[in-house]
């Protein structure tokens, strides 16, 4: 039986730390504030927004919402970003991606002030993930993976890690963060010839593909730690990860559940970035 690496306890510990830091900020008349910019009514955006707002309320972070219609013009989106930039009370901004229009998304990320970019949208923050310069913040989910491993005292240095997925939001940044922790990282993608073999050879598997239960029994080996980032819906309509949990759990040493794993830590990391931005301001 594998250890189940639940996200809840890790998120709770971070939330408690953030409550203390927010009290200290409020004593200096600073209330950390997060701006949420959402275009349209996508269910997954609204679910993430609700979870983020709930976590912010618990910590004492205020939230300003910028909710735009799905047929919003480029100018209206950019004017919302300008308003966020100019509002000195706003310390961080989360924009729900992808935008309906990729060109508008790129323009918005160029416009957003780097110091308010708490989810690694600007090229400056992204460059920092690769250079380790410490400017900006890594994508919240990528950082949540590393925080979860730290919380459960799972050694990273010197371990072989296979990251399945190479997106700019998760796969690539989490690979860089783990490399910074001295892991030996293999990054896989849709053209990888033997994904199952690459996963089996790893001490730690990070699955960030976005395909329900793609990683079946032959992807796993005894003693491994599996971090499942995927959020999918299975054939029965239930939320599930990229790993076939029932097949993996009897084999591996430890595995994150979906739901209740990495996703629960992501909103706490977002709040940590907002509090840090407020401390810097």
The residue ranges that bind ligand NAP (CB under 6 A) are 141, 164-167, 169-171, 188-192, 195, 208-211, 214, 229-232, 262-263, 266
Q: Kind and range of the H or E element at 267?
A: helix 262-280
As measured in angstroms, the least distance from the Cβ of 261 to ligand NAP is 7
As measured in angstroms, the least distance from the Cβ of 212 to ligand NAP is 8
DSSP 202: -
Inter-residue contact 69 to 99 (CB < 8 Å): no
As measured in angstroms, the least distance from the Cβ of 136 to ligand NAP is 18
As measured in angstroms, the least distance from the Cβ of 249 to ligand NAP is 18
**How far is Cα 171 from Cα 118, in angstroms, rounded to an integer?**
18
Closest CB to ligand NAP among residues 25, 231: 231
Closest CB to ligand NAP among residues 78, 214: 214
DSSP 116: G
Backbone phi, psi, residue 195, to 5°:
-60, -40
As measured in angstroms, the least distance from the Cβ of 263 to ligand NAP is 4
DSSP codes of every residue in 19-33: HHHHHHHHHTT---E
As measured in angstroms, the least distance from the Cβ of 80 to ligand NAP is 22
Closest CA to 162 of 149, 171, 153, 170: 171
Which residues face 204 on adjacent strands?
A: 161, 225
Closest CB to ligand NAP among residues 25, 163: 163
Closest CB to ligand NAP among residues 7, 25: 7
Closest CB to ligand NAP among residues 5, 25: 5
Strand arrangement of the beta sheet that strand 184-188 belongs to = 3-4, 254-255, 225-228, 204-207, 160-164, 184-188
Closest CB to ligand NAP among residues 58, 76: 58
């Amino acid at each position: 039986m594998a250890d189940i690496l639940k996200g809840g306890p890790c998120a709770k510990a971070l939330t408690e730390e953030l409550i203390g830091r927010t009290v200290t900020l409020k004593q200096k008349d600073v209330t950390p504030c997060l701006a949420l910019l959402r275009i349209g009514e996508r269910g997954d955006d609204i679910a993430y927004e609700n979870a983020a707002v709930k976590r912010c309320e618990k910590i004492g972070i205020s939230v300003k919402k910028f909710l735009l219609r799905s047929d919003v013009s480029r100018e209206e989106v950019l004017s919302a970003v300008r308003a966020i930039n100019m509002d000195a009370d706003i310390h961080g901004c989360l924009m729900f991606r992808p935008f309906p229009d990729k060109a508008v998304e790129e323009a918005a990320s160029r416009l957003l002030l780097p110091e308010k970019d708490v989810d690694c949208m600007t090229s400056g923050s992204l460059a920092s993930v690769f250079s380790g310069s410490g400017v900006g913040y890594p994508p919240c989910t990528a950082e949540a993976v590393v925080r979860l491993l730290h919380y459960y005292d799972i050694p990273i240095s010197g371990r072989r890690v296979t990251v399945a997925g190479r997106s700019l939001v998760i796969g690539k940044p989490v690979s860089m963060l783990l490399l910074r922790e001295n892991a030996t990282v293999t990054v896989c993608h849709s053209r990888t010839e033997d994904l199952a073999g690459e996963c089996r050879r790893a001490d730690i598997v990070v699955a960030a593909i976005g395909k329900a239960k793609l990683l079946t029994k032959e992807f796993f080996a005894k003693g491994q730690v599996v971090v499942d980032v995927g959020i999918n819906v299975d054939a029965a309509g239930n939320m599930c990860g990229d790993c076939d949990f029932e097949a993996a759990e009897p084999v591996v040493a430890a595995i994150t559940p979906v739901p209740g794993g990495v996703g629960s830590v992501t909103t706490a990391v977002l709040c940590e970035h907002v509090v840090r931005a407020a401390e810097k301001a």
